[in-house]
Chain A
Amino acid sequence: MIEIRDISKSFGALKVLNGLSLTIAKGEIMAVIGKSGGGKSVFLKHLIGLLRPDSGTIEIDGIDIVTAKGQQLQRIREQFGVLFQGGALFDSLTVFENVAFPISEKTRLSKKEIAQRVTEALSDVGLSDIEHKYPAEISGGMKKRVALARALIARPKIVLFDEPTTGLDPIMLRAIHRLIADTHRKYGFTGVIISHEIPEIFDIADRVALLYEGRIEEVGTPSEFINSKNQVVRSFLTGGEDL
Chain B
Amino acid sequence: MIEKTIRGLGRWGLRIVRTMGSMALFLINAIAVTFQRPFKFRLLLKQIRFFGSKSLLVIALTGAFTGMVLALQLYYTLRKFGSEALLGPAIALSLIRELGPVLSALMVTGRAGSALAAEIGIMRISEQIDALVSMALNPFRYLIVPNILAALITFPLLTSIFDVIGIFGGYIVAVELLGLSEGTYFSQIDAFVDMEDIRIGLYKALSFGLIVSWVCSYKGFNTGFGAEGVSKATTEAVVLSSVLILIWDYFVGSLFM
Is A bound to B? yes
Which A positions have Cβ atoms within 8 angstroms of B?
Answer: 45, 48-50, 74-75, 77-78, 80-82, 84-86, 88-91, 101-102, 105-106, 154, 160
Listed from nearest, the 9 A-B pairs whose CB atoms lie closest are A77-B136, A88-B131, A88-B127, A82-B134, A84-B127, A74-B136, A78-B136, A102-B135, A88-B128
Nearest B residue (CB) for A98: B131
Beta-carbon contact of B130 and A77 below 8 Å? no
**Interface mask (B109-147 → A, CB under 8 Å = 1, otherwise 0):** 000000000000011001110110111110000000000
Beta-carbon contact of B134 and A48 below 8 Å? yes
Beta-carbon contact of A77 and B135 below 8 Å? yes
Q: A84-B130, A106-B136 are in contact. List 6 more A-B contacts (CB 8 A).
A: A75-B136, A77-B134, A77-B136, A81-B134, A90-B123, A105-B137
13 intermolecular pairs with C-beta atoms under 8 Å apart:
A45-B130, A50-B130, A74-B136, A75-B136, A77-B133, A81-B134, A88-B128, A88-B131, A91-B122, A101-B135, A102-B135, A106-B137, A154-B135
On chain A, the residues within 8 Å of B123 by CB distance are: 90-91
On chain B, the residues within 8 Å of A48 by CB distance are: 133-134
Nearest A residue (CB) for B128: A88
On chain B, the residues within 8 Å of A154 by CB distance are: 135
A86 to B125, CA, bound (A): 10
A56 to B122, CA, bound (A): 32
A154 to B128, CA, bound (A): 18
| Chain B residues bordering chain A, tally (CB within 8 A) | 12
Beta-carbon contact of B126 and A86 below 8 Å? yes
Beta-carbon contact of A50 and B136 below 8 Å? no
Give B162 Cβ to nearest chain A Cβ, in Å.
Answer: 29
Beta-carbon contact of A90 and B130 below 8 Å? no
On chain A, the residues within 8 Å of B122 by CB distance are: 91
On chain A, the residues within 8 Å of B131 by CB distance are: 82, 84, 88, 90
Give A166 Cβ to nearest chain B Cβ, in Å.
Answer: 13
On chain A, the residues within 8 Å of B126 by CB distance are: 86, 88, 91
On chain A, the residues within 8 Å of B135 by CB distance are: 77, 101-102, 105-106, 154
Give B21 Cβ to nearest chain A Cβ, in Å.
Answer: 18
A88 to B133, CA, bound (A): 12
Give A37 Cβ to nearest chain B Cβ, in Å.
Answer: 13
A82 to B130, CA, bound (A): 10
A175 to B138, CA, bound (A): 33
**Interface mask (B159-198 → A, CB under 8 Å = 1, otherwise 0):** 0000000000000000000000000000000000000000
On chain B, the residues within 8 Å of A80 by CB distance are: 134
Centre residue among B130, B131, B134 by max chain A CB count within 10 A: B134
On chain B, the residues within 8 Å of A160 by CB distance are: 134
A77 to B130, CA, bound (A): 12
On chain B, the residues within 8 Å of A90 by CB distance are: 123, 128, 131
On chain B, the residues within 8 Å of A75 by CB distance are: 136
On chain A, the residues within 8 Å of B130 by CB distance are: 45, 50, 82, 84, 88
Beta-carbon contact of B137 and A50 below 8 Å? no
Give B193 Cβ to nearest chain A Cβ, in Å.
Answer: 42
Nearest B residue (CB) for A74: B136
A90 to B131, CA, bound (A): 9
On chain B, the residues within 8 Å of A77 by CB distance are: 133-136
A179 to B76, CA, bound (A): 77
Beta-carbon contact of A50 and B133 below 8 Å? yes
Nearest A residue (CB) for B141: A105
Nearest B residue (CB) for A45: B130
On chain B, the residues within 8 Å of A82 by CB distance are: 130-131, 134
A150 to B100, CA, bound (A): 46
A6 to B127, CA, bound (A): 27
Centre residue among B122, B123, B128 by max chain A CB count within 10 A: B128
Give B19 Cβ to nearest chain A Cβ, in Å.
Answer: 17
On chain B, the residues within 8 Å of A84 by CB distance are: 127, 130-131
A81 to B123, CA, bound (A): 18
